[in-house]
Structure 1
């Protein structure tokens, strides 16, 4: 569903993307409006699905999750039952931060955050015991150069 977003909405969204914990007064002041119209716009964008879940960003390394793997999966299975089983396996594993179905030679890519290589192997062994895959390639990220959820408004 497409929603009409004007310049004030974009300003509000930019402020929220930078720090969603800011007070309504701060947001209104920064975007040059008053509190009530800003609150109404935020409420409407939430109802329309433009603004989704609000959460906090945790520092994975500070919490001991030092290894980030990108897992490339090729499969010869494309039936709905296999896809449902695969989706459930991914949803049941909190270490899978992202999962995408791709066009091209690779069918799926996963972003998996774990403590170390040993923890990745435990994840990998559990995954392949639940769903059959043709080929799995794990790429260890040596350094995260950029990570953002912000959209270029």
Structure 2
């Protein structure tokens, strides 16, 4: 369901902005009554367009003051290695995101940890769990922009 109409795109945009909005308020913003709006939200969820509703938190206020981007180079590209790697990163709660990449690195991880000592512990746990050819770590000094809302086109086409 990637071909969303204008109303669906507006609903998705509103929910990405603030998932705590009551259905009545979303309906008003997108020009629907409450019941059809709720049915559309349910359809968007069933189709996998809306994958969850969460509260966003400030990592520093939760004690996760260090963000690290880890580039991983795999020693091989076998199904066995990929499965072992996937299990290893799934077992590390501080690994927030994992992407399989094209280019010089095979995987890119976003990691949130309290400090360098915690990162070192995570690094050791990961490299003990799975063989890795090379790890390149980049430490974020400042988060200048952050959003979870995709730039959905809410204009009439």
TM-score, normalising length: structure 2: 0.93
Taking the aligned partners of 2:110 and 2:3, their CA distance within structure 1 comes to 32
Q: Counterpart of 1:62 in 2: which secondary structure?
A: helix
Give the equivalent residue in structure 2 for 1:77. 76
Between 143-152 and 113-122, report the one with greater CA deviation: 143-152
Conserved? CA contact 1:3–1:48, under 8 Å? no
**Pairwise CA distance, 1:97:** 0.5
| Deviations 1:60-115 (CA, angstroms, capped at 9, x unpaired) | 10011000000011122211111101000000111000001111111111000000
Give the equivalent residue in structure 1 for 2:58. 59
Give the equivalent residue in structure 2 for 1:14. 13
Moved over 4 A (4+): none
User: Does 1:111 find its partner at 2:110?
Assistant: yes
Taking the aligned partners of 1:32 and 1:48, their CA distance within structure 2 comes to 22
**Pairwise CA distance, 1:29:** 1.3
Q: How do 1:133-148 and structure 2 match up within 5 A? A: 133-148=132-147
**Pairwise CA distance, 1:138:** 0.7
Give the equivalent residue in structure 2 for 1:131. 130
Q: Counterpart of 2:69 in 1: which secondary structure?
A: strand
**Pairwise CA distance, 1:145:** 1.2
Unaligned runs of 5+ in 1: none
Taking CA–CA contacts closer than 8 Å with sequence separation of 6 or more, which of the two structures ends up with the larger relative contact order? 2
Q: Counterpart of 1:55 in 2: which secondary structure?
A: coil
**Pairwise CA distance, 1:55:** 1.3
Unaligned runs of 5+ in 2: 153-157
**Pairwise CA distance, 1:127:** 0.6
TM-score, normalising length: structure 1: 0.96
**Pairwise CA distance, 1:24:** 0.9
